[in-house]
Amino acid sequence: MRTPIAYFLILSSILFALGTVGVLIRKNALLIFMSVELQLNAVNLTLIAFSRMHNDLNGQVIAFFSMVVAAAEVVVGLAIIVSVYRRRQTVDVDDARGLRW
Amino acid sequence: MPLDNVVFWVFAPISIASAIGMLVMRNAVHAALFLIVNFFTIAVMYLLLDAPFLFAVQIIVYAGAIMVLFLFVIMLLGVDRGVDGREPLWGQRWIAVALAVAFVLETGFAIRAAVGLSTRAPDGFDAVNAAGNTQALAKVLFRDYFFPFEVTSVLLIVAAIAAMVLAQRKARAVTQAEIDAEQPFTAPDPEVVA
């Protein structure tokens, strides 16, 4: 493997930043959720890059757990979005302001 | 130029371009398809980092299961049809981009200081993966992480039940207190109940 580890880390940092931009500029709850998935993937890439750098499989196992937890999180999150949509007929996060007087 | 370098420089721009494509798409289905492309390129990065098992898991779980679920929900709700006319928060956009650039610069300096831009991965990962990556990963998973693994299975069952409870359409049961409180001639509007 001749590619420097830092390249993978920088790629993952760029992907994480793009996911952050998506969370900040989108109003559609589904697209915000997709951006969060992008951030999760960027962090997984970092974990696996460090796992390779230190010749240690623990990083890969943690990334595996993170994928499983992300799958559970997606299922519950999408169910919440579906139930919010049934109640309000919208997935715009600005319309869900029940906590604001 | 070594082969894995070529693969990296082919797939890294695709990865970043597909992430940007996801951000600028108006249509939610197009954004989801760009995200699938991005997940595939990240899977290729896992292959370059000698993690073939996670490469397969990434494609099966993320590009397969999770994105199918996303597309299913997008089409179920019908939010792909022109709801997003006022989608991006234009005023916030430039602040977000500035913060993202600052984040990348900051992490870039941190990576240069801590890892070094030309540090290559050490040899000897083949020894760690002696019997194959999947076997080595299984050994670590079932020996050192057995309890977290079992807790994860409980988490998945709880998530599946929670999704069923949250997404089912059936009306909930009426409690005795609500029956007592209800006035005989002010039955709720069926439109509201539905």
Can you give the pLDDT at residue B4? 85
Can you give the pLDDT at residue B192? 58
Asked if B167's CB is within 8 angstroms of A82's CB, the reply is yes
3-state secondary structure of A4: strand
Domain boundaries, chain A: 5-90
Measured between beta carbons, which residues in chain A are less than 8 angstroms from residue B155? 68-69, 72
Asked if B66's CB is within 8 angstroms of A37's CB, the reply is yes
Angstrom distance (rounded) from CA A14 to CA A20: 10
Average confidence score pLDDT of chain B: 84
Angstrom distance (rounded) from CA A58 to CA B136: 11
| Fold held by B1-82 | Four Helix Bundle (Hemerythrin (Met), subunit A) (1.20.120)
Is the Cα torsion angle B37, A38, B159, B81 positive or negative in sign?
negative
- Per-residue pLDDT of B126-169, as tens digits, reads 777 878 889 999 999 999 999 999 999 999 999 999 998 888 87
3-state secondary structure of B122: coil
Tell me the CATH architecture of domain A5-90.
Orthogonal Bundle (1.10)
Q: Which residue's entry shows tokens 């999760």?
A: A40
Question: Residue A51 above 80 pLDDT?
Answer: yes
Question: Residue B38 above 70 pLDDT?
Answer: yes
- Which of B73, B129, B170 to mutate to test binding with chain A, by most A CBs within 10 Å of its CB? B73
Calculate the CA B75 to chain-centre distance: 18
CA distances (Å), A72 to each of A22, A30, A79, B35, B62, in order? 22, 16, 11, 19, 12
Asked if B145's CB is within 8 angstroms of A61's CB, the reply is yes
Confirm whether pTM is higher than 0.95.
Answer: no
Q: A39 to chain B nearest CA, in Å?
A: 10
Angstrom distance (rounded) from CA A63 to CA B137: 11
Asked if A81's CB is within 8 angstroms of B89's CB, the reply is no
Domain boundaries, chain B: 1-82, 92-121, 123-172
Asked if A44's CB is within 8 angstroms of B162's CB, the reply is no
